[in-house]
Structure 1
């Protein structure tokens, strides 16, 4: 028997969509969100829906390999990236993917990583108790083959000593995760603030 989709997960995903839409971080049908459920299940947004106007019908369930419980429904194209985060990080309870102007432009200019240093909001990331710190966000080349992109992400994680607070896909967007949706939104907002600062600083020289 298929388990019902918990209402709190639906509400968290719908709320995230509205909050990110107000900031213009999910234009058109861009972006995708998910929440980890018990027993290896994941609630995730369906493909092709505007994230600012989500309804309960726009949320579906997949397993940790991205397979839909209801074969008639199609999850977001990048669901495998969400599943990869949940498989890798046991503490991850929610994942957000957005397409802001700042993260899109800066990721196009970056090399293999983008460094953020000296910002007060670095303290929003785990293990950082002061602004006197730096974080290197991995940047991956965009790839329409999501399984291959996830393999590249996992390869970089395996070589890193410190878990990053998220990562960028070049010219595409950002992924962040945290213990629950509120924490993930806080992490995303801190990150996007710093990225906007970097973009503005680049404009004024």
Structure 2
């Protein structure tokens, strides 16, 4: 596949992913950004400020893995959060950043990493073969200093491993995978788990409900 063919393949995939994610309500207004690795030194990523449910080919651009534009378009301010992942792990082929209500709620109320254990849907994640496993979703404070945030995320992963995703407080979710279809599967699984976590944290046993009346 030529470089042009590779970029066109990424464009088609990201447009389709944007429509699918928008239909779920996970990328409201012009929020969110999506990317796909092109080669060892560049990736395709959504242009800043575009409606992700109505992407066109002109809304996708190329950047190098330092986040610099390769075609004169303006990348998202959060491009470094994508390229840092591509630099640290050559096995990462796509990154999706979304802004769902549940991801935002959980990020604002979590005191530390969000932990999931013993749930069947954990098997949706690459490398997980049984529900008898766990997944930790770290939560980082939001900041406009994206370079500092990217370093904080990278330093954390150096200590704990790359994992499958993380939350930014009051902001949204990042997840990734070896290719775009797998990353979409990870996104859907994480959204289910975050929904479960939010409802479980609000649940009270019947005895407690009786006392509250």
Same-fold call, TM cutoff 0.5: yes
Secondary structure of the equivalent of 2:63? Answer: strand
In structure 1, the partner of 2:188 is: 189
More divergent stretch after superposition (194-203 vs 42-51):
194-203
> Which sections of structure 1, spanning at least 5 residues, go unmatched?
none
Instruction: Provide the C-alpha distance between the structure 2 equivalents of 1:187 and 1:101, rounded to a whole number of angstroms.
Output: 17
TM-score (norm 1): 0.94
Q: Kindly provide the CA deviation profile for residues 148-178 of structure 1, in whole angstroms up to 9, marking residues without a partner as x.
A: 1001101111111x43111111111111111
Q: How many residues align?
A: 201
Q: Distance in 2 between matches of 1:113 and 1:63?
A: 31
What is the CA distance between 1:39 and its match in structure 2? 4.5
Other structure's SS at 1:6 match:
helix
CA distance in 2, matches of 1:67, 1:145: 16
Would you tell me which structure has more helix in proportion to its own residues? Answer: 2
- The reply to whether residue 26 of structure 1 matches residue 27 of structure 2 is yes
Shift of 1:70: 2.2
SS, match of residue 16 in structure 1: helix
Q: Give the secondary-structure state (helix, strand or coil) at the position aligned to 1:176.
A: strand
Over residues 122-143 of structure 1, what are the superposed CA-to-partner deviations in whole Å (9 max), with x where a residue is unaligned? 0112332111221111111001
Contact 2:40 2:90 survives alignment (8 Å): no
The Cα shift of 1:201 comes to 2.0
d(CA) in 1 for partners of 2:39, 2:128: 30
2:154 is the alignment partner of 1:154 = yes
Structure 1 window deviating more from structure 2 (96-105 vs 3-12): it is 3-12
Partner of 1:130: 130
Taking the TM superposition and a 5 Å limit, the aligned residue runs for 1:30-49 are 30-49=31-50
Q: Which has the larger radius of gyration?
A: 2
